[in-house]
A and B are shown apart, each in its own frame.
Chain A
Amino acid sequence: DQQVKQNSPSLSVQEGRISILNCDYTNSMFDYFLWYKKYPAEGPTFLISISSIKDKNEDGRFTVFLNKSAKHLSLHIVPSQPGDSAVYFCAAANYGGSQGNLIFGKGTKLSVKP
């Protein structure tokens, strides 16, 4: 059973528009959420994170929103750029508990078209 779900395998967006990547989770004990970006032939790199005590975190063009009641988070990229084309992984952890390992979703491949 998947604890972190990214139901959209791919997303295509026009350059300059908003990209919205979605993630759902099932474990209510998760208290920290992260987004990673991965280019081909490279390791994933940290993008942005949010604690469960917040509902929004912003870093430049990237904003993560957390809706705890719906167990849903989303990553907004505004404006989208061709260099944002990559696979995006959502991850979650229960850092307050004994099991603090990151659990990842399956990823969403974002394509930003010029």
Chain B
Amino acid sequence: DAGITQSPRHKVTETGTPVTLRCHQTENHRYMYWYRQDPGHGLRLIHYSYGVKDTDKGEVSDGYSVSRSKTEDFLLTLESATSSQTSVYFCAIKGQASNYGYTFGSGTRLTVV
């Protein structure tokens, strides 16, 4: 099983504060992704990375930034959290398996009050 961990698992923060979510992998995979899951919307891509310092925007990138200074870590930052960013955030890695699928972390439940 691919080693991918997200931290924290749960967080409550106030509107307007910055928040950083961390995704850590032990598999040395090149591609990493951040998705958010919301009722009625499924999984939507926020940002992705295809290597150290190489990142790009996804479908719902407004209000989010990312950084990848090391292969193993992919950080998602909410510069100024809003209530609309209350969601469950999933990190994923794209492995070398023949099924071409992603392996997801366990998620971070973020509540912005």
Sorting the interface of chain A by its residue count into under 10, 10 to 19, 20 to 34 or 35 or more gives 20 to 34
- Main SS class of interface, B: strand
Q: A104-B44, A107-B42 are in contact. Are A34 and B104 (CB under 8 A)?
A: no
Contact surface of B with A, Cβ cutoff 8 Å: 33, 35, 40-45, 48, 58, 90, 92, 99-107
Partner among A45, A93, A103, A107 whose Cβ is within 8 Å of the Cβ of B100 = A93
Partner among A32, A42, A46, A89 whose Cβ is within 8 Å of the Cβ of B43 = A89
0 or 1 for each of A28-52: is its CB under 8 Å from B? (1 = yes): 0000101010000111111001000
Q: Are B48 and A101 in contact (CB under 8 A)?
A: yes
Partner among B58, B100, B107 whose Cβ is within 8 Å of the Cβ of A43 = B107
Q: A101-B58, A104-B42 are in contact. Are A43 and B105 (CB under 8 A)?
A: yes
